[in-house]
Structure formats: C-alpha cells, structure tokens
Amino acid sequence: MANSIYPPYPPPLTAEQTEYLFTTLKDWTIAHGLAVRPAPGFVSKEQDPSGVLATTAPVTLFPSLFPRSCFDEALSIQELYNEFYSRVARDERWLEGIVNELIGVDDFIANLWRIHLEVKREGYVQDLSLGLFRSDYMVHINDEGSDKKLQIKQVEFNTIASSFGGLAWEVSTLHKYLLSVDAYPGGPKTVPMHGNLATSNSVPGLAAGLAVAHKTYEPSNEFNRLCVIFLVQDPERNVFDQRHLEYALLAQHGIRSFRLPWQRILQDTEMTAKRTLVYRPPHLPDLPCEVSTIYFRAGYSPDEYKSEQDWTARLHLERSRAIKCPTVLTQLAGCKKVQQVLATPGKPPRRFMCDGERLAKLMQTFMPMYPMDDGEAGQEGKRLALDPESANRYVLKPQREGGGNNVYRKKIPEFLKSIPESHWPAWILMEMIEPPALRNAILRNGEIQEGGVIGELGVYGACLWRSGTGEEGQGEILRNFEAGYLLRTKGDQSEEGGVAAGFGAVDSCCLVDL
C-alpha cells in the first residue's frame, strides 16, 4: 500500500457523538433493509430455526474518500466496457481458443462450453442477451516519473451475479441521511461532505436493465402471465440486496418476478415444444407464467454444480427462449483467462474495438497480467511468480467467482510448488494495485472496527444485445447504459474484498479533488 494522499479523515468523535452515530446508523439500516441474514457463527440455526432474523450488513460508519477524477473516469467508460464485453461474448471463435487452453485443467469451464455446444447443435432459439455487468477498480498510485499520478486500475470484470447493487443504493442514501441529521460533526479542519457524497443509482439502473430485456422479449401468447426469474441460492444470506431489485422492478416497471432456488429448476419449470420456458410457482401451480428473462444470482461457482442434475438444469435454461442474464458464452467471457489475454502487455485487443482512442481509454485501466502456460508470456509469468522478490508485487487468480480464492504476494511461490505444474495454466498472474492509505470505521456483527482500509469501486452497467448469425462479434447493441456504483471497503490487512465472503463492508464515496 502507498502512503496516504488524503487529508486527515474521518473526523474525531467524542464518546457521545460516536454513540449517536452508531444508534442512528443501526436503526436506519434495519428500517431500510440495509441488512443480511446473520452468519451461522453469529446466530446459530438453533437460535433462529425459522430464519427470521436479520442484522445490519457490514457497513462503513463514514463515506470513504475517493478521488473525484478517478470516480468520474470509472463511470464515464462503463458503456465502453459494456460494448467491449458484449463483443467478446459474441465472438464464439475467439472464445473457443481461450476455452481450449483451459479444458484440460478446468472442468467447470469445460462443462460450460459443453453446454454451449449442445445448444448450438440443436440450434439457439433466442439471440438476445442481457448483461448486468460490474467493473471493479482500485485507485493506483503510479510512482513512475517525478510526479505521483492517480489512476484507476481494473481488478476484474464481472459478467454473472454482479451483486450488492441493492445495498449500494441503500448505503449511499444512509450516509447522506447521517450527514443531514448531524451525525458527522463539521468544522474548519474537516473534509467538506455537503455536495460531495456520490449517490448510487444502482437499484433503478439494474431494474431498468431487467425491464428493457423483459419488454423486448417476444411472448409466445400461449400464457396469460409474463415474468422475470431471479435464479438464487438457497439459503441466501444476501437476500435483501436481491429483494430491493425485485421490489423496484414491480414498483417502477410493473413487472412481476419470482425467486427460483437453484435446486428447484427442474421441479418448477418446464419447456414447451417451441422451447418457451414456463415457471409454475409452488404456491400457485395452476397459474403458470411464461419466463421472459432469467437473472442469474446463482450458478457462478463450481461448488453449486454438485451432480450431473445441476448441469442438466443449466442446459435446460440455456436451451429455452428466455433471455439469459447471462448466457453461457457471456459467463465465459468474464473468466479471468479472458481478462488476462486482453491485458497481456504488448497485445492490444483491437479485435473487439477498432477505434484506437476508445480502446486506449480501456487499456489505461489494465494492470499487467500474465498466463501461467508454456507460451512466451507464460514463461515470463512463471519467472515472476516463482521469484519470491518479484512475486511480492503480484496476485495469483483462478477462474473463479465469489471471492476467497486468490493467492497473494509471498505466498505465491509456495502455493505453485504445492500443486502439479500441469494445473498452473488454470491460474493467471496480475500485478498488484497499490492504493493510497485511508482510514475508516466498519460496523460488522454489532462491533465497530477502526483502522486502515482499502476501497474497491465497482461500476454497474446494463447492456442488451442481439447476437446475429456470425461467429466473430456480429450483431447489434440495443441498449447500453451505466447503472450506478458500489464501493466495497476492507481492512488493509485483508486481501479479499468480497462482502458476502466476510472480509469487506459496503460503503459510498465522498469525492475529493486532489
């Protein structure tokens, strides 16, 4: 981590001010659904057998400082990233080359590709795809040259189950409320907050993306009702984050949605001869509903595919006429190997964006990444990863979503030596982003933890496109827009930033000019 570039922050509080802030915050969060189901280690199943309890989601007491220029840049390029990854997802031939490098070392990637090939042989019946994306960044201090330059650098690009849009919307509202009721004491030496707290429009933005897909879908007219399916894990601690999107979809667009647990796909859905997907709610089995759009908040982790039946269920959905968010190809476009190939030094990905100026804007956010294979770039990656001194500047990432799987810095050489070298190509090596030092306080499980923190900015985007009939990115984008932001903040001793994984907290931005 680099030295701090920020003014002193957060402001010091008296015991009475801390108590007022804490009380006001915890009541507001529960009243407004800024909450999660408690972790089993916090509240046991015996204490809550019906699963009715909720607790405040891990949240920062103060909005974290964030450079205004970096924030504006991240939001301004989201539409470019949406377009870029929609082109990657449409380029089957290029993706096939990536997948072929991984099939021998990653069964999960191999099985996803197998599903695509099975549906392709039968013939796809839906050429519309929806992406609710999130591009994650950190502020990086570039020490090269005489001036220290602030840059945003991409951590990863998420193409499936981009979570926390519901809570991000709430926490930006929370921090503005706390400011309005004098929970943040002002003074001549404190950072000015009025007019500098950035609102996140993630709930209306993501709901609008789902609504666009729903309204573009061409119904079969065989059924009287049309719905959106939220495909979810069960149990789901992060249920309130998802519920905010469900409620907005109904309140703002009049669109009904249902929650379908991953384990019940085959029990609760069926397909007509024309491959229209039909959902029969267990509580209303005589009122079937045609599914316009499937929003995946499950199905992103290998751990969810416990048997061949789970793969059969995924194939069942992919075969259907429902618009998928995402399709299998779009999910594959988000794997770390794709990110590595796009960000390998000296190999600009002009295949997906010919406009040099627009491509340069994206490439400015890339950190150097290397494969761990036998190619020229892979040999350089291995050299950097096995040398303890150079490895200290890198993170090793697998083709996995959901957090908790990365290997950091000095642990990399030992980890690589512990697995067969034939498995190394399933990993990619990325240069570490060096963010400026910052302080904040996090409320988690009723306890306040203060100290050094690191912020990770995620920008949401919605993109609906038609794939066309070609294999190299043919088709057209129908709608494309930025859809709000998420700030996740973690203690600077924690390498992982996933809130659901228990390491970080949801946050919002207090923008500063540096």
**What single DSSP character describes residue 460?**
E
Among 159, 164, 252, 160, CA closest to 204? 252
Among 219, 244, 212, CA closest to 130? 212
406 is in an annotated binding site: yes
405 is in an annotated binding site: yes
400 is in an annotated binding site: yes
Tell me if residue 163 is catalytic: yes
Q: Of 64, 163, 200, 257, which is the active-site residue?
A: 163
Q: Of 90, 134, 324, 382, which is the active-site residue?
A: 134
162 is in an annotated binding site: yes
Token pair 């099985």 in the structure block, residue: 111
Q: Of 33, 375, 402, 502, which is the active-site residue?
A: 402
| CA angle at 191 for the pair 189 and 192, rounded to the nearest 5° | 110
Phi, psi of 267 (to 5 degrees): -75, -35
500 is in an annotated binding site: yes
Mention every residue, 6+ apart, whose C-beta is less than 8 A from residue 239. Answer: 36, 37, 232
Tell me if residue 308 is catalytic: no
476 is in an annotated binding site: no
Helix (H) or strand (E) holding 402, with range, is none
395 is in an annotated binding site: no
403 is in an annotated binding site: yes
Kindly report the three-state secondary structure assignment for every residue of 247-273.
Answer: HHHHHHHCCCEEEEEHHHHHHHEEECC
Tell me if residue 488 is catalytic: yes
Token pair 């189901």 in the structure block, residue: 37
Q: Of 86, 129, 158, 200, which is the active-site residue?
A: 158
376 is in an annotated binding site: no
73 is in an annotated binding site: no
Token pair 């932001």 in the structure block, residue: 485
432 is in an annotated binding site: yes
399 is in an annotated binding site: yes
496 is in an annotated binding site: yes
Beta bridge partners of 463: 131, 480
d(CA 509, CA 499): 17
| CA angle at 40 for the pair 35 and 45, rounded to the nearest 5° | 105
Indicate the Cα dihedral angle 427, 433, 437, 439, nearest 10°: -50
3-state secondary structure of 56: strand
Q: Are 29 and 56 in contact (CB under 8 A)?
A: yes
d(CA 311, CA 114): 10
Phi, psi of 125 (to 5 degrees): -110, 0
Q: Of 73, 83, 101, 156, which is the active-site residue?
A: 156
Q: How far is CA 246 from the centre of its chain?
A: 18
444 is in an annotated binding site: no
358 is in an annotated binding site: no
299 is in an annotated binding site: yes
Q: Of 86, 397, 482, 504, which is the active-site residue?
A: 397
Tell me if residue 455 is catalytic: no
Q: Of 37, 87, 336, 444, which is the active-site residue?
A: 336
d(CA 20, CA 280): 48
Q: Of 73, 318, 401, 482, which is the active-site residue?
A: 401
404 is in an annotated binding site: yes
Q: Give me the amino acid identity at 373.
A: D
176 is in an annotated binding site: no
Q: Are 365 and 358 in contact (CB under 8 A)?
A: no
380 is in an annotated binding site: no
409 is in an annotated binding site: no
93 is in an annotated binding site: no
383 is in an annotated binding site: no
Which of left, alpha, beta for 254 (phi over 0: left; psi -120 to 50: alpha)?
left
Tell me if residue 158 is catalytic: yes
134 is in an annotated binding site: yes
353 is in an annotated binding site: no
d(CA 283, CA 293): 21
340 is in an annotated binding site: no
Mention every residue, 6+ apart, whose C-beta is less than 8 A from residue 98. Answer: 332, 335, 337, 338, 341
89 is in an annotated binding site: no
d(CA 129, CA 425): 29
Work out whether the CA dihedral 25, 26, 29, 31 comes out positive or negative. Answer: negative
Residues of the binding site for Mg(2+): 156, 158, 401
Residues of the binding site: 134, 156, 158, 160-163, 236-238, 242, 297-300, 336, 397-406, 408, 430-433, 456, 488, 490, 496, 499-500
Residues of the binding site for substrate: 134, 160-163, 236-238, 242, 297-300, 488, 499-500
Residues of the binding site for ATP: 156, 336, 397-406, 408, 430-433, 456, 490, 496
Residues forming the active site: 134, 156, 158, 163, 336, 397, 401-402, 488
